[in-house]
Amino acid sequence: MPATAAEASNGGAPDRRRLVGILALQGDFEAHAKLVRALGAQAREVRLPDDLKSLDALIIPGGESTVMTLGIEREGLAEPLRAVVRAGTPVLGTCAGMIMLDRDHLGVLDIHTRRNAFGRQVRSFEADIDVQGIDGGPMHAVFIRAPWVAEHGPDVEVLGRVEEHPVAIRQGNVLAVSFHPELAGDARLHQLLLASVRK
């Protein structure tokens, strides 16, 4: 069975010094914050460029990518977010967060995503998928108006697929998935993010 956040936090010493920023312009950032705190780290909601200071890791959650794009432009967050990635800070993007990181948006991942690739809201689904680097068996993935990676460069490692479409990828310090691990209560990607901080 996949480790829940509570179970994961019992597996080792809490990492209370780690500060994880969660982009909080739109989307279910509170569910991510709950998992981060359950793992013993601190969560900070990111709405302004100053909120990005002194972060150990960053999460860009799901939501509506158009609304998120407008919010990033309004608050002047685009270049500060790029600077966080360029500095080597571990980053996790989920669903719309994957879209925001692609070539057409923040441009920090060498991928092109297809929005609503599996269909609109009525085509949302759940599936168990294997993700390389994640121990404990398949992840129960919740896909809601989810994208997939339609094209990627040579430095992008595909970690998981659905129907041969990449839905979990990694490039350098950035991990991105098409699904919502926070809705399934599976903290393993968040654990991986915190482990990257320690490395």
Enumerate the active-site residues: 95, 180, 182
Helix (H, G, I), strand (E, B) or coil at 138: coil
Cα–Cα–Cα angle for 188, 118, 163, rounded to 5 degrees: 70
- CB neighbour class for 43 (10 Å; exposed up to 12, middle 13-18, buried from 19): buried
* The pairing of beta strand 148-152 with beta strand 111-114: antiparallel
As a whole number of angstroms, the distance between CA 7 and CA 145 comes to 29
The closest alpha carbon to 111, from 172, 194, 46, belongs to: 172
As a whole number of angstroms, the distance between CA 74 and CA 136 comes to 41
